[in-house]
């Protein structure tokens, strides 16, 4: 069965600092991977996705993620965090037939 682990429940970074959110997945075949962001009181919005090709994926809002098969990881990065990036971030893997499994999320706090 597929699974997703986000080891960091809560992360605090200073505005302007770089950010990396960790995601590890477990899936038997080639994974389809996603990062979603959930702002307070809002639904989830897709940041980026990977299913083939270049292992470095660019997304919206200046985010990128790198797929590393050897490490079963799909970490999300941003070079310079803005206060508006404070939200909850979810990594997800699609095992087929829309059976998407989400991680438990990482809450990002941005301090001035």
Residues that bind other proteins (CB under 8 A): 32, 34, 36, 41-46, 49, 51, 88, 90, 94, 96-100, 102, 104-105
Q: Report the residue number, 77 or 107, with the smaller CB distance to other proteins.
A: 107
Closest distance to other proteins from the beta carbon of 43 (Å): 3
CA angle 68, 76, 9 (to 5 degrees): 110
Closest distance to other proteins from the beta carbon of 31 (Å): 9
Closest distance to other proteins from the beta carbon of 30 (Å): 9
Q: Report the residue number, 42 or 84, with the smaller CB distance to other proteins.
A: 42
CA angle 97, 47, 45 (to 5 degrees): 75
Whole-angstrom distance, CA of residue 86 vs CA of residue 74: 20
Please, which residues have CB within 8 angstroms of residue 58's CB and are 6 or more apart in sequence?
A: 48, 64
Whole-angstrom distance, CA of residue 9 vs CA of residue 104: 8
Q: Report the residue number, 14 or 104, with the smaller CB distance to other proteins.
A: 104
Closest distance to other proteins from the beta carbon of 58 (Å): 15
Whole-angstrom distance, CA of residue 99 vs CA of residue 36: 16
Q: Report the residue number, 13 or 100, with the smaller CB distance to other proteins.
A: 100
């Amino acid at each position: 069965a597929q699974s997703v682990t986000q080891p960091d429940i809560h992360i605090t970074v200073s505005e302007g600092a770089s950010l990396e959110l960790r995601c590890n997945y477990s899936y038997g075949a080639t994974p389809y991977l996603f990062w979603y962001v959930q702002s307070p009181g809002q639904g989830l919005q897709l940041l980026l996705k990977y299913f083939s090709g270049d292992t470095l994926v660019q997304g919206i809002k200046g985010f990128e993620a790198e797929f590393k098969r050897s490490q079963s990881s799909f970490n999300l990065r941003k070079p310079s965090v803005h206060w508006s990036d404070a939200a909850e971030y979810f990594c997800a893997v699609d095992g087929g037939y829309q059976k998407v499994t989400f991680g438990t999320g990482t809450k990002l706090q941005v301090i001035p």
